[in-house]
Amino acid sequence: MKNSTIYKFSTLFKTQYANMLEYRAEIALWAISGVIPFFMLNIWTNNGLNESINISNVMLSRYFLSAFFVRQFSVVWVVFTFEEDALLGRVSPYIIQPLHPFIRYFAQHIAEQITRFPFALCIAIFFFIFNPQSLWIPSFLTIIISLISVFFSFLIQFLMQSIIASFCFWTEKASSIEKLLFIPTLFLSGLLAPVSSFPPYVKSWIYLTPFPYLIDFPASILSGNQANIIEGIFIQFLWIVLFFTIFKKFWKAGTKKFTAMGL
């Protein structure tokens, strides 16, 4: 079964993992750059802002720690890599290969996340040393469910960015569109403030967008805050299906438009 997709993927994954291990110092720094939720937690608890939204200090600190973890394992950068590859003409050989180029990027992301895991764990241990009262051990079932929803969140973001990345076939700087999309992701996903604290005029429409399902929903499950698990995972799944169809359409149209660069 040497030709099976699983074999291809596992080989890709192994080589990418070895590749990522070489960059572990980089990845450690990247993990550190994700500490913003902890600073936000500091503002929330230091000013007693959480009293009016009925989340205790301990629950809020668990929420932000979970948000940190969810963010660590759902960071996507495919558009930047793809843009570079497109500009340098590396996409041309990828397209000829009997393997979708994005499977290669997907393997890169998974490998990077696994390299990142020990560093994220170190940061969490430091967090518990400073906040021993917020230590908690989620049940096995919670861990499994939150792993699924984190993975779904990663998939949604990966597909969203892949759609933007396929704009590279038309424009040379697709990454600036990604920077634009990052703004609502930052403010509406629950990374800086839990969605439950949002004012009613935002709450009324925010659940129609994919954003709260990126960080707030998985983080709420993991931290044991209130979350509608079955409904949430189902909606995440719907977004994945939707974005996957759009991506396939764009990719098909884009490859027809493709003009090789850097040859």
Partner 1 sequence: MNIKKYLQVYSYFNYSSFSIELEYKVNLFIDLLTAILGLIGSVFLLSIFFSNTDEIGGWNFNQALIIQGIYTILNGVTNTWFNPNLKEIVKYVREGTLDYVLLKPIDSQFWVSFNRISPTGLIEILLGFFVLNYCFYINNISFTIWSLILLMITLICSISILYSLWFLISTTTIWFVKTWNATEVLRSFLYMGRFPMDSFSFSLRIFFSTFIPITFITTIPSEVLLGLSPAWKIILEVLVSMTFLIFSRKFWKFALRFYTSASS
Task: Kindly list the residues in this chain that would bind partner 1 in the complex (CB under 8 A).
Answer: 23, 25-27, 29-30, 32-36, 39, 42-43, 46-53, 171-173, 176-177, 179-180, 183-184, 186-187, 192-193, 197-199, 202
Residue 45 beta carbon to partner 1: minimum distance, rounded to whole angstroms: 8
From its phi and psi, is residue 54 left (phi > 0), alpha (psi between -120 and 50) or beta? Answer: left
Give the span between the Cα atoms of 97 and 2, in whole angstroms: 16
Structure tokens at 138: 């989620």
Give the span between the Cα atoms of 235 and 154, in whole angstroms: 14
What lies within 8 Å, CB to CB, of 178 at 6+ separation is 79, 80, 161, 164
Among candidates 89, 85, 121, 131, which has minimal Cα distance to 105? Answer: 85
Of the pair 100, 173, the CB lying nearest partner 1 is at 173
Residue 171 beta carbon to partner 1: minimum distance, rounded to whole angstroms: 7
Of the pair 32, 121, the CB lying nearest partner 1 is at 32
Give the span between the Cα atoms of 146 and 66, in whole angstroms: 10
Of the pair 99, 177, the CB lying nearest partner 1 is at 177
Residue 130 beta carbon to partner 1: minimum distance, rounded to whole angstroms: 9
The 10 Å Cβ neighbour count of residue 31 is: 21
- Give the CA distances from residue 32 to residues 9, 43, 116, 151, in Å, rounded to whole numbers and listed in that order: 29, 19, 10, 21
Of the pair 179, 249, the CB lying nearest partner 1 is at 179
Contact 66, 219 (CB under 8 A): yes
Residue 40 beta carbon to partner 1: minimum distance, rounded to whole angstroms: 9
Residue 48 beta carbon to partner 1: minimum distance, rounded to whole angstroms: 7
Of the pair 4, 133, the CB lying nearest partner 1 is at 133
Residue 150 beta carbon to partner 1: minimum distance, rounded to whole angstroms: 21
Contact 27, 73 (CB under 8 A): no
Of the pair 12, 174, the CB lying nearest partner 1 is at 174
Of the pair 6, 183, the CB lying nearest partner 1 is at 183
Residue 165 beta carbon to partner 1: minimum distance, rounded to whole angstroms: 15
What lies within 8 Å, CB to CB, of 123 at 6+ separation is 31, 32, 35, 68
Distance of CA 106 to the CA centre of its chain: 12
